[in-house]
Amino acid sequence: MTLPVILIIKMTKSTGSYTLHRGKLDMNRRSFNFRDMKIKEIRIISHGTPDYDAEVALRYKVLREPLGLNYTPEQLTDEKDEIHINAFSESGIVGCLLLKRVSDSEIKMRQVAVAEDHQGEGIGGELVRFCEEYARSCNYKVITLHARESAVKFYLSLGYEITGDRFTEVTLPHFPMRKNIGPLSPARIFHSPEK
């Protein structure tokens, strides 16, 4: 039996464009050369680790503290089965997002946060692109999310669409959004040679 080998996406420093490289599927860790960005790596981290603690601190600082809210122990425990994708600079975590399974074909993106001193550097977009590739590699077809009203333009620019009316969540106006990501295209899948 041959197993698919997924092409690894790398951003080239000189052009900033994506090039595809044949490689084994390793969605837990990817190194990138980021043009004009101060991040060195995007990878999946595990719940309950020091990286997770740093992620929670970042999410609190960016998403909860400005609203006077905190995470409950139950909320944090419930995240143990979610996928935690983090962006790192030389000094530590600078961005994150979580993915939560909704069904066999749908996954929900949530808790997207980029450190305030790194916002506007393209880190959020790279996290979203990484999560889309991860979701495709797991055969999800749709990514859904609840976007804060202030972030709707960001998600629209990445191909997401508004799917419903404005509503309030954690004291702020949000919009439901989604993107059909479909399966990996044949151009992105290679099969290992038979031995």
Q: How confident is the model at residue 116 (pLDDT cuts 50, 70, 90)?
A: very high
| Domain spanning 4-191, CATH class | alpha beta
| pLDDT tens-place string over residues 19-37 | 333 333 344 444 444 445 5
Asked whether the predicted pLDDT for residue 171 surpasses 50, the reply is yes
Cβ atoms of 128 and 179 within 8 Å: the answer is: no
Give the least confident one: 2-6, 61-65, 82-86, 187-191. 2-6
Residue 184 has a pLDDT of 59
Q: Quick one: which H or E segment has residue 125?
A: helix 123-137
Please write the tens of the pLDDT for every residue from 131-163.
999 999 999 999 999 999 999 999 999 999 999
E strand residue ranges, the chain: 4-11, 18-22, 29-31, 41-45, 83-89, 92-101, 106-114, 142-148, 161-162, 167-169, 172-180, 189-191
* Domain residue ranges of the chain, discontinuous segments joined by +: 4-191
Give, as one character, the DSSP assignment of residue 83.
Answer: E
| Distance between CA atoms of residues 103 and 142, nearest Å | 10
pTM for the model stands at 0.78
Decide if pLDDT at 103 tops 60.
Answer: yes
Ranges 65-74, 154-163, 185-194: which has the least confidence: 185-194
| 155 neighbors 127 (Cβ within 8 angstroms) | no
How far is Cα 77 from Cα 72, in angstroms, rounded to an integer?
9
Identity of residue 21:
H
Of 65, 93, 86, 60, nearest in space to 75 by CA:
60
| Residue 185 confidence (pLDDT) | 53
Q: What is the pLDDT of residue 3?
A: 33
Would you state the structure tokens that stand for residue 157, as one six-digit string?
């620019």
